Chains A and B, each alone.
Chain A
């Protein structure tokens, strides 16, 4: 017991006190800023180089729902695109994930598009079932990390639990392989109403790098209302927790 106490003392306090105001290392790849004055030839080159077809032209834009945050566009054309370390990039409307040239404003949830029953019933306690639908593991590990001693989303009553019968929503990672389509649907059907659906990571939101793969079945995403999109490759725990706090209407603490 004394050994345990010594370990506890030596390791000190670990939790991030201010989850909204935390600062990540400058190199962290968060919300990009896109320059308005980019020559057409560079725009064309950017569009064709992007590995997940996230970059669009006229005007130049990046779709964070497709972006894999490799930052190679910035390395190739540093005056056209810069990635900031702003990690608050979750949105509840798919189109809000598209960052257009000349727009340098934070990405936030559209309050009017949040279903009223979410805040009414889930604000103080949100239990979630995670389905890894061909996720490559880093996204799953970041979701686990969201509940660990550092990020501690449990302080808001947010928690991942085992059974879909016990939850208020389904969180999906991965591009959704054909082999997981049925299991995902079964899990969703087993979840009582009202329930939320959250897509985490570019793969889940758009298929990401795997969008063209014949081994996927993304009909679930097309068939259901999505309450929250959390971009990233993988999404950072702070991105995920802040997105949920915004959706639930939890103020800073």
Chain B
């Protein structure tokens, strides 16, 4: 057994480790050890990436053991190396290997489909998105349907290519990358900590608080800053409010897709109440500005508390009244139940996280498995659904809204309003030659930020993982054997991030 313990195990979240302490193995041993660890169903890969250095690559794999510990080790190889693929044994690794293959030309032998993730910048090949060969099946009965990148609504761009037999979807290929802005490159350049902080809030606007928090935790870990209890609680409150707002907005979208207009407008109005509450707190409806390294600009005062309590009490009552009605309407149930099923095995196989996992009865919730900030002291029990269909994803939202509102109201009740938190520090000094990692449970699921510093303590590599990175594949599986007309509601039920994936 001992040959499979060649890694560094660190406790806590966020966590740091000196680069020199991370074992670098031969690829064969790296490979066998990864398979050995990932065969444990509680373990999952939270990040796997390559850091380039003059044609050579240092690759790091970051695993969560499901009991709060983080396991890190790696290997070295050259760009355009050829290595056996982990994906053949552990399908959830497919997306990480695709990314490394795209960026550095590494060929993973045995990988079923080394399709590029993003295009066109920061990659090893010179081909272009327009010439990408979509998966195809030839047959006289089959036809293709292409949607996007510009969709009918006001949403982000992506391209969906369906292969259909009549109305029935045989296969959906999802082509992303249209939003690629080079976020990770900008996070690792020599710009200021202030700029990087704001950049982190702009990775995905609907998760501004969660991604901002992912970055703040990494910077604080790198500089040894421990935030006070009061701030730890405020951040959790902000995150739970973000979750409530998006879940209600998504309920509106789901109602819109089944032509239940009353439900759509009721939920839009309730979402407005939620995000206006956030705006009252910090001046921005999406919570941009709430999360800053080592401190806060917008302390949660008694005035803010009163506004939150008043509005959340109203939202809880009216949303509850509404969802009782929603889940008893035959016309809605007919469109929600049994549609877009993702089984537990499928969810585990693709490495689903967050909502997409929990609605398929896969218990993955960073707030429970790797608690951070005030979650360390909260008894958080993830809500699970077992049907894996659109109904489960709608119902999970409704239940999580209640859970989050109750939590916020409870925390506000106990908050020490005499305590004051520090103001932000944009002059933090980082430990040199260190890798820092943070895991945050955004409303979609697990967000992972990894920063690596050089010998001068400057960030020279940055890796962001949005839950959508895993979960887009869940959508592709959900629509198999469904009618193509069910695609919009399947899509809305996940509400995955384009820019979070494209970066």
Contact = CB atoms under 8 A, between A and B. Distances in A.
A160 B154 contact: yes
B266 A7 contact: yes
Interface string A214-253: 1110000000000000000110100000000000000000
Contacts of B269: 11, 14, 148-150
A214 B182 contact: yes
Nearest to A24: B279
Contacts of A77: none
Contact of B186 (A27, A75, A136, A213): A213
Interface stretch (A56-64, A102-110, A176-184): A176-184
Main secondary structure of the interface of B (DSSP, over half): loop
A149 B185 CA distance: 40
Contacts, number: 184
A179 B283 contact: no
Nearest to A53: B195
B406 interface: no
Given A7-B321, A71-B297, A183 B178 contact: yes
A180 B283 contact: no
A65 interface: no
Given A143-B154, A149-B265, A136 B202 contact: yes
B186 A132 contact: no
Interface in B102-130: 119-122, 129-130
A132 B156 contact: yes
Contacts of B153: 144, 160, 162
B17 interface: no
B137 interface: no
Bin the interface of chain A by size.
35 or more
Given A138-B286, A160-B154, A210-B186, A180 B178 contact: yes
B330 to A, nearest CB: 13
A125 B332 CA distance: 34
B318 A11 contact: yes
Interface stretch (B138-146, B203-211, B223-231, B477-485): B203-211
A18 to B, nearest CB: 17
B205 A141 contact: yes
Contacts of B195: 51-52, 209
Interface residues of B, number: 64
Interface string B410-434: 0000000000000100100000000
A253 to B, nearest CB: 21
B198 A51 contact: yes
B149 interface: yes
B182 A210 contact: yes
A137 B206 contact: yes
Nearest to B265: A149
A142 B276 CA distance: 12
B82 interface: no
Interface string B338-375: 00000000000000000000000000000000000000
B285 interface: yes
Interface of B: 119-122, 129-130, 149-150, 152-157, 177-182, 185-186, 191-192, 194-195, 198-199, 202-206, 208, 249, 262, 265-266, 268-269, 272, 276, 279-286, 288-289, 297-298, 318, 321-322, 325, 423, 426, 497-499, 502
15 contacts: A68-B202, A71-B283, A132-B154, A135-B499, A138-B205, A140-B155, A140-B156, A145-B268, A179-B120, A179-B178, A209-B186, A210-B181, A214-B182, A215-B121, A215-B181
